[in-house]
Amino acid sequence: MRLDKGLISRAFERFRNIKILVVGDIILDRYIFGKVERISPEAPVPVVEVEKEEFRLGGAGNVASNLSNLGIRVYLCGVIGNDYAGHVVSGLLKEKGIHDITIEDRHRPTTQKARVVAVSQQLLRIDNESKEKIEGRVLEDLLERLDVDVDAVVVSDYAKGVVCKELMDRIRSKGVFFSVDPRPKNKYLYIGADLMTPNEKEARQMQEEESLQSLGWKLKNSLRLKTLVVTLGSRGMALFDREFKVFPARAKQVYDVTGAGDTVIAVLTAGVLAGLDWEEACELANICAGIVVGKLGTASPSFEEIIEYVEEDVKIRGEGT
Ligand SMILES: Nc1ncnc2c1ncn2[C@@H]1O[C@H](COP(=O)(O)OP(=O)(O)OP(=O)(O)O)[C@@H](O)[C@H]1O
Ligand SMILES: [Mg+2]
Protein backbone atom coordinates (compact mmCIF):
# COMPACT_ATOMS: atom_id res chain seq x y z
CA MET A 1 0.00 0.00 0.00
CA ARG A 2 1.26 3.48 -0.83
CA LEU A 3 -0.82 5.31 1.77
CA ASP A 4 0.48 5.81 5.27
CA LYS A 5 -0.53 7.82 8.30
CA GLY A 6 1.56 10.84 7.26
CA LEU A 7 0.01 11.08 3.80
CA ILE A 8 -3.50 10.72 5.20
CA SER A 9 -2.86 13.36 7.90
CA ARG A 10 -1.56 15.81 5.32
CA ALA A 11 -4.57 15.21 3.11
CA PHE A 12 -6.91 15.85 6.05
CA GLU A 13 -5.09 19.08 6.88
CA ARG A 14 -5.66 20.26 3.33
CA PHE A 15 -9.32 19.24 3.34
CA ARG A 16 -10.02 22.18 5.67
CA ASN A 17 -9.07 24.67 2.96
CA ILE A 18 -11.09 23.04 0.18
CA LYS A 19 -14.55 24.13 -0.98
CA ILE A 20 -16.70 21.72 -2.96
CA LEU A 21 -20.13 22.13 -4.53
CA VAL A 22 -22.29 19.00 -4.73
CA VAL A 23 -25.13 19.16 -7.26
CA GLY A 24 -27.71 16.54 -8.09
CA ASP A 25 -30.60 14.51 -6.79
CA ILE A 26 -31.09 14.92 -3.06
CA ILE A 27 -32.78 11.96 -1.41
CA LEU A 28 -34.15 11.60 2.10
CA ASP A 29 -33.64 8.08 3.46
CA ARG A 30 -36.23 7.33 6.10
CA TYR A 31 -36.05 4.24 8.30
CA ILE A 32 -39.06 3.12 10.30
CA PHE A 33 -38.08 0.43 12.81
CA GLY A 34 -40.68 -1.61 14.62
CA LYS A 35 -41.83 -5.01 15.78
CA VAL A 36 -44.36 -7.39 14.28
CA GLU A 37 -46.57 -9.42 16.60
CA ARG A 38 -49.72 -9.96 14.64
CA ILE A 39 -51.32 -10.09 11.25
CA SER A 40 -53.73 -7.34 10.33
CA PRO A 41 -57.46 -8.14 10.54
CA GLU A 42 -57.95 -5.97 7.44
CA ALA A 43 -55.69 -7.85 5.04
CA PRO A 44 -53.15 -10.70 5.25
CA VAL A 45 -50.22 -8.37 6.05
CA PRO A 46 -48.09 -7.90 9.17
CA VAL A 47 -48.84 -5.01 11.52
CA VAL A 48 -45.68 -3.07 12.38
CA GLU A 49 -45.66 -1.29 15.72
CA VAL A 50 -43.29 1.62 15.27
CA GLU A 51 -40.53 1.87 17.86
CA LYS A 52 -38.08 4.27 16.27
CA GLU A 53 -37.73 6.45 13.21
CA GLU A 54 -34.53 7.74 11.64
CA PHE A 55 -33.72 10.10 8.80
CA ARG A 56 -30.50 10.22 6.78
CA LEU A 57 -29.32 12.22 3.81
CA GLY A 58 -29.14 10.11 0.65
CA GLY A 59 -28.06 10.63 -2.95
CA ALA A 60 -26.34 13.98 -3.46
CA GLY A 61 -27.06 14.68 0.21
CA ASN A 62 -24.98 11.68 1.22
CA VAL A 63 -22.08 12.76 -1.00
CA ALA A 64 -22.21 16.18 0.70
CA SER A 65 -22.37 14.53 4.10
CA ASN A 66 -19.31 12.39 3.32
CA LEU A 67 -17.33 15.45 2.19
CA SER A 68 -18.38 17.43 5.24
CA ASN A 69 -17.20 14.59 7.51
CA LEU A 70 -13.78 14.88 5.91
CA GLY A 71 -13.66 18.51 7.08
CA ILE A 72 -14.31 20.04 3.66
CA ARG A 73 -16.47 23.15 3.22
CA VAL A 74 -19.49 21.88 1.30
CA TYR A 75 -22.31 23.55 -0.64
CA LEU A 76 -25.28 21.42 -1.66
CA CYS A 77 -27.50 22.36 -4.58
CA GLY A 78 -30.56 20.48 -5.83
CA VAL A 79 -34.32 20.59 -5.38
CA ILE A 80 -36.57 19.75 -2.48
CA GLY A 81 -40.35 19.99 -2.26
CA ASN A 82 -42.49 22.20 -0.05
CA ASP A 83 -43.23 19.31 2.32
CA TYR A 84 -42.29 17.63 5.59
CA ALA A 85 -39.42 15.63 4.02
CA GLY A 86 -38.00 18.89 2.66
CA HIS A 87 -37.98 20.40 6.16
CA VAL A 88 -36.19 17.33 7.46
CA VAL A 89 -33.53 17.66 4.72
CA SER A 90 -32.96 21.33 5.60
CA GLY A 91 -32.62 20.41 9.27
CA LEU A 92 -30.07 17.67 8.56
CA LEU A 93 -28.00 20.02 6.39
CA LYS A 94 -27.92 22.63 9.13
CA GLU A 95 -26.95 20.01 11.71
CA LYS A 96 -24.02 18.89 9.56
CA GLY A 97 -22.84 22.39 8.71
CA ILE A 98 -23.46 21.91 4.97
CA HIS A 99 -24.21 25.18 3.15
CA ASP A 100 -27.77 24.76 1.94
CA ILE A 101 -28.25 26.29 -1.51
CA THR A 102 -31.13 24.00 -2.49
CA ILE A 103 -34.18 25.27 -4.34
CA GLU A 104 -37.72 24.61 -3.19
CA ASP A 105 -39.96 23.43 -6.00
CA ARG A 106 -43.62 23.59 -4.98
CA HIS A 107 -44.63 21.32 -7.84
CA ARG A 108 -42.68 18.24 -6.84
CA PRO A 109 -42.23 16.17 -3.70
CA THR A 110 -38.90 15.87 -1.92
CA THR A 111 -37.47 12.53 -3.08
CA GLN A 112 -37.90 10.14 -0.18
CA LYS A 113 -37.23 6.43 0.23
CA ALA A 114 -38.90 5.10 3.34
CA ARG A 115 -37.96 1.64 4.58
CA VAL A 116 -40.01 -0.30 7.07
CA VAL A 117 -37.66 -2.55 9.03
CA ALA A 118 -38.75 -5.22 11.53
CA VAL A 119 -36.37 -7.66 13.23
CA SER A 120 -33.48 -6.28 11.13
CA GLN A 121 -35.30 -7.15 7.95
CA GLN A 122 -36.69 -4.76 5.38
CA LEU A 123 -40.41 -5.42 4.94
CA LEU A 124 -41.26 -2.69 2.53
CA ARG A 125 -39.87 0.35 0.77
CA ILE A 126 -42.05 3.30 -0.11
CA ASP A 127 -40.72 5.73 -2.71
CA ASN A 128 -41.94 9.26 -3.11
CA GLU A 129 -40.47 11.04 -6.10
CA SER A 130 -40.83 12.88 -9.36
CA LYS A 131 -38.50 12.12 -12.27
CA GLU A 132 -39.60 15.08 -14.33
CA LYS A 133 -36.88 17.29 -15.73
CA ILE A 134 -36.44 20.60 -13.91
CA GLU A 135 -37.70 23.48 -16.05
CA GLY A 136 -38.47 27.20 -16.05
CA ARG A 137 -37.94 29.39 -13.02
CA VAL A 138 -36.65 26.53 -10.86
CA LEU A 139 -34.01 25.63 -13.44
CA GLU A 140 -32.96 29.28 -13.80
CA ASP A 141 -32.60 29.65 -10.02
CA LEU A 142 -30.65 26.42 -9.86
CA LEU A 143 -28.22 27.53 -12.58
CA GLU A 144 -27.68 30.85 -10.82
CA ARG A 145 -26.75 29.14 -7.57
CA LEU A 146 -23.97 27.23 -9.33
CA ASP A 147 -22.00 30.48 -9.52
CA VAL A 148 -20.72 29.91 -5.97
CA ASP A 149 -16.92 30.08 -5.70
CA VAL A 150 -15.55 26.53 -5.18
CA ASP A 151 -12.51 24.38 -5.99
CA ALA A 152 -14.52 21.52 -7.47
CA VAL A 153 -18.01 20.28 -8.33
CA VAL A 154 -19.35 16.79 -7.70
CA VAL A 155 -22.38 15.79 -9.76
CA SER A 156 -24.47 13.07 -8.11
CA ASP A 157 -26.99 11.92 -10.72
CA TYR A 158 -29.81 9.58 -9.75
CA ALA A 159 -31.81 10.51 -12.88
CA LYS A 160 -34.58 12.32 -11.00
CA GLY A 161 -34.52 15.35 -13.28
CA VAL A 162 -31.97 17.75 -11.82
CA VAL A 163 -28.95 16.82 -13.94
CA CYS A 164 -29.59 18.08 -17.47
CA LYS A 165 -27.71 19.64 -20.37
CA GLU A 166 -28.12 23.23 -19.15
CA LEU A 167 -26.78 22.29 -15.72
CA MET A 168 -23.77 20.41 -17.09
CA ASP A 169 -22.92 23.24 -19.50
CA ARG A 170 -22.94 25.70 -16.61
CA ILE A 171 -20.68 23.43 -14.56
CA ARG A 172 -18.22 23.03 -17.44
CA SER A 173 -18.13 26.80 -17.90
CA LYS A 174 -16.93 27.22 -14.29
CA GLY A 175 -13.60 25.78 -15.39
CA VAL A 176 -12.99 23.85 -12.15
CA PHE A 177 -12.45 20.13 -11.55
CA PHE A 178 -15.72 18.22 -11.84
CA SER A 179 -16.56 14.61 -11.10
CA VAL A 180 -19.72 12.63 -11.90
CA ASP A 181 -21.49 9.65 -10.34
CA PRO A 182 -23.49 8.77 -13.46
CA ARG A 183 -26.74 7.18 -14.57
CA PRO A 184 -26.39 5.33 -17.90
CA LYS A 185 -29.32 7.08 -19.61
CA ASN A 186 -27.61 10.44 -19.16
CA LYS A 187 -24.27 9.22 -20.55
CA TYR A 188 -23.74 12.00 -23.07
CA LEU A 189 -24.25 14.73 -20.50
CA TYR A 190 -20.95 13.86 -18.84
CA ILE A 191 -18.54 14.58 -21.69
CA GLY A 192 -15.23 16.03 -20.53
CA ALA A 193 -15.58 15.16 -16.83
CA ASP A 194 -12.35 15.03 -14.81
CA LEU A 195 -13.62 11.90 -13.09
CA MET A 196 -16.54 9.53 -13.57
CA THR A 197 -17.34 6.72 -11.11
CA PRO A 198 -19.94 4.26 -12.46
CA ASN A 199 -20.37 0.86 -10.84
CA GLU A 200 -19.69 -2.09 -13.12
CA LYS A 201 -23.32 -2.58 -14.11
CA GLU A 202 -23.69 1.09 -15.06
CA ALA A 203 -20.41 1.01 -16.98
CA ARG A 204 -21.59 -2.02 -18.96
CA GLN A 205 -24.85 -0.28 -19.79
CA MET A 206 -22.94 2.73 -21.09
CA GLN A 207 -20.45 0.69 -23.14
CA GLU A 208 -20.96 -2.81 -24.48
CA GLU A 209 -17.77 -4.82 -24.40
CA GLU A 210 -16.68 -8.20 -23.00
CA SER A 211 -13.63 -7.38 -20.97
CA LEU A 212 -13.62 -4.75 -18.27
CA GLN A 213 -10.38 -3.28 -19.54
CA SER A 214 -11.42 -2.59 -23.11
CA LEU A 215 -14.82 -1.42 -21.90
CA GLY A 216 -13.21 1.10 -19.57
CA TRP A 217 -10.81 2.52 -22.15
CA LYS A 218 -13.57 2.83 -24.75
CA LEU A 219 -15.89 4.58 -22.32
CA LYS A 220 -13.14 6.92 -21.14
CA ASN A 221 -12.20 7.84 -24.71
CA SER A 222 -15.71 8.20 -26.07
CA LEU A 223 -16.71 10.63 -23.29
CA ARG A 224 -13.25 12.26 -23.22
CA LEU A 225 -12.99 11.66 -19.48
CA LYS A 226 -9.71 12.59 -17.80
CA THR A 227 -10.00 9.67 -15.38
CA LEU A 228 -12.45 6.79 -15.00
CA VAL A 229 -12.95 4.66 -11.90
CA VAL A 230 -15.31 1.69 -12.18
CA THR A 231 -16.42 0.41 -8.77
CA LEU A 232 -16.62 -3.38 -8.55
CA GLY A 233 -18.58 -3.96 -5.32
CA SER A 234 -16.92 -6.66 -3.21
CA ARG A 235 -14.05 -6.81 -5.72
CA GLY A 236 -13.00 -3.20 -5.16
CA MET A 237 -12.42 -0.71 -7.97
CA ALA A 238 -10.66 -0.32 -11.31
CA LEU A 239 -8.72 2.83 -12.18
CA PHE A 240 -8.36 3.98 -15.79
CA ASP A 241 -5.97 6.89 -15.78
CA ARG A 242 -2.72 6.76 -17.70
CA GLU A 243 -2.68 3.07 -16.85
CA PHE A 244 -5.18 0.46 -15.75
CA LYS A 245 -5.05 -0.83 -12.20
CA VAL A 246 -7.40 -2.80 -9.96
CA PHE A 247 -7.58 -2.03 -6.23
CA PRO A 248 -9.03 -4.95 -4.26
CA ALA A 249 -11.85 -4.24 -1.77
CA ARG A 250 -10.89 -3.70 1.84
CA ALA A 251 -14.00 -4.41 3.90
CA LYS A 252 -13.74 -6.56 7.01
CA GLN A 253 -17.42 -7.26 7.53
CA VAL A 254 -20.28 -6.28 5.30
CA TYR A 255 -23.62 -5.19 6.77
CA ASP A 256 -25.06 -2.76 4.29
CA VAL A 257 -23.65 -1.67 0.93
CA THR A 258 -25.97 1.33 0.41
CA GLY A 259 -24.10 4.57 -0.04
CA ALA A 260 -20.70 3.02 -0.74
CA GLY A 261 -20.70 4.60 -4.21
CA ASP A 262 -21.37 8.03 -2.66
CA THR A 263 -18.37 7.59 -0.39
CA VAL A 264 -16.16 6.60 -3.32
CA ILE A 265 -16.83 9.73 -5.39
CA ALA A 266 -16.54 11.99 -2.33
CA VAL A 267 -13.19 10.57 -1.22
CA LEU A 268 -11.67 10.35 -4.72
CA THR A 269 -12.55 13.98 -5.45
CA ALA A 270 -11.39 15.24 -2.06
CA GLY A 271 -8.21 13.16 -2.16
CA VAL A 272 -7.06 14.34 -5.56
CA LEU A 273 -7.86 17.97 -4.70
CA ALA A 274 -5.77 17.58 -1.55
CA GLY A 275 -2.79 16.47 -3.61
CA LEU A 276 -2.97 12.67 -3.52
CA ASP A 277 -2.23 10.93 -6.80
CA TRP A 278 -4.92 8.69 -8.32
CA GLU A 279 -3.52 5.49 -6.86
CA GLU A 280 -3.36 6.93 -3.36
CA ALA A 281 -6.86 8.36 -3.75
CA CYS A 282 -8.21 4.95 -4.85
CA GLU A 283 -6.59 3.29 -1.83
CA LEU A 284 -8.17 5.84 0.49
CA ALA A 285 -11.58 5.52 -1.22
CA ASN A 286 -11.47 1.74 -0.86
CA ILE A 287 -10.67 2.05 2.84
CA CYS A 288 -13.49 4.53 3.42
CA ALA A 289 -16.03 2.52 1.40
CA GLY A 290 -14.90 -0.58 3.31
CA ILE A 291 -15.69 1.15 6.59
CA VAL A 292 -19.07 2.35 5.29
CA VAL A 293 -20.24 -1.11 4.18
CA GLY A 294 -19.44 -2.39 7.67
CA LYS A 295 -22.15 -0.13 9.13
CA LEU A 296 -25.92 0.00 8.80
CA GLY A 297 -27.22 2.75 6.52
CA THR A 298 -25.21 5.43 4.79
CA ALA A 299 -22.45 6.79 7.01
CA SER A 300 -19.10 8.38 6.38
CA PRO A 301 -15.89 7.57 8.22
CA SER A 302 -13.87 9.98 10.35
CA PHE A 303 -10.10 10.53 10.31
CA GLU A 304 -9.68 8.43 13.48
CA GLU A 305 -11.59 5.50 12.00
CA ILE A 306 -9.50 5.61 8.83
CA ILE A 307 -6.20 5.69 10.71
CA GLU A 308 -7.31 2.84 12.96
CA TYR A 309 -8.19 0.82 9.89
CA VAL A 310 -4.88 1.52 8.18
CA GLU A 311 -2.85 0.68 11.28
CA GLU A 312 -4.69 -2.59 11.79
CA ASP A 313 -4.19 -3.43 8.16
CA VAL A 314 -0.46 -2.76 8.35
CA LYS A 315 -0.24 -5.02 11.41
CA ILE A 316 -2.15 -7.81 9.69
CA ARG A 317 0.02 -7.66 6.61
CA GLY A 318 3.18 -7.32 8.68
CA GLU A 319 4.51 -4.63 6.39
CA GLY A 320 5.69 -2.29 9.19
CA THR A 321 5.40 1.42 8.51
N1 LIG B 1 -19.40 -6.41 -0.41
C2 LIG B 1 -18.39 -5.53 -0.34
N3 LIG B 1 -17.24 -5.85 0.29
C4 LIG B 1 -16.24 -4.98 0.36
N5 LIG B 1 -16.25 -3.74 -0.17
C6 LIG B 1 -17.36 -3.37 -0.82
C7 LIG B 1 -18.49 -4.23 -0.94
N8 LIG B 1 -19.44 -3.59 -1.64
C9 LIG B 1 -18.93 -2.38 -1.93
N10 LIG B 1 -17.67 -2.24 -1.44
C11 LIG B 1 -16.82 -1.03 -1.56
O12 LIG B 1 -17.65 0.03 -1.99
C13 LIG B 1 -17.25 0.53 -3.29
C14 LIG B 1 -18.46 0.90 -4.12
O15 LIG B 1 -19.33 -0.19 -4.20
P16 LIG B 1 -20.24 -0.54 -5.47
O17 LIG B 1 -19.38 -0.89 -6.62
O18 LIG B 1 -21.26 -1.52 -5.00
O19 LIG B 1 -20.91 0.90 -5.75
P20 LIG B 1 -22.42 1.30 -6.09
O21 LIG B 1 -23.11 0.15 -6.72
O22 LIG B 1 -22.36 2.57 -6.83
O23 LIG B 1 -23.00 1.57 -4.66
P24 LIG B 1 -24.26 2.46 -4.29
O25 LIG B 1 -25.24 1.49 -3.72
O26 LIG B 1 -23.76 3.39 -3.26
O27 LIG B 1 -24.72 3.14 -5.52
C28 LIG B 1 -16.41 -0.60 -3.87
O29 LIG B 1 -15.49 -0.06 -4.80
C30 LIG B 1 -15.74 -1.18 -2.62
O31 LIG B 1 -14.65 -0.37 -2.22
MG1 LIG C 1 -23.80 4.10 -7.22
- pLDDT tens sequence across 78-116: 999 999 999 999 999 999 999 999 999 999 999 999 999
CB of 264 closer than 6 angstroms to any ligand 1 atom: yes
Taking the centre of ligand 2 as the mean of its atom positions, its distance from the CA of residue 310, in whole angstroms, is 25
**In this structure, what CATH number is given to the domain that contains residue 276?**
3.40.1190.20
Q: How far is the CA of 181 from the centre of ligand 2 (A)?
A: 7
Q: Cα(146)–Cα(22) distance, rounded to whole angstroms?
A: 10
How many whole angstroms from 29 Cα to the centroid of ligand 2? 15
Ligand located closest to 256 CA: 1
Taking the CA of 232 as reference, the closest ligand is 1
Note the pLDDT of residue 96. Answer: 96
How many structural domains is the chain composed of?
1
Pairing of the two strands 195-196 and 177-181: parallel
Find the mean pLDDT for residues 278-306: 87
Catalytic residue chosen out of the listed positions 127, 262, 277, 313: 262
CB distance 26 to 129 below 8 Å: no
Q: Does any ligand 1 atom lie closer than 6 A to the CB of residue 236? A: yes
Q: Which of 180, 231, 239, 267 to mutate to test the pocket of ligand 1 (most atoms within 8 A of CB)?
A: 231
Give residue-wise pLDDT tens across range 201-247. 999 999 999 999 999 999 999 999 999 999 999 999 999 999 999 99
Q: Are 19 and 151 in contact (CB under 8 A)?
A: yes
Domain with 268, as residue range(s), is 5-317
Look at residue 318 and give its three-state secondary structure: coil
Q: 126 CA to middle of ligand 1, Å?
A: 23
Closest C-alpha residue for ligand 1 atom 23: 261
Residue 320 has pLDDT above 70, yes or no: no
- Tens of pLDDT along 127-184? 999 999 999 999 999 999 999 999 999 999 999 999 999 999 999 999 999 999 999 9
Residues in the chain: 321
Which stretches within the chain are classed as H helix? 5-15, 60-69, 84-96, 136-145, 165-174, 200-206, 212-222, 260-273, 278-293, 303-317
Q: For ligand 1, is residue 161 a contact (CB within 6 Å)?
A: no
262 is catalytic: yes
pTM for the whole structure: 0.95
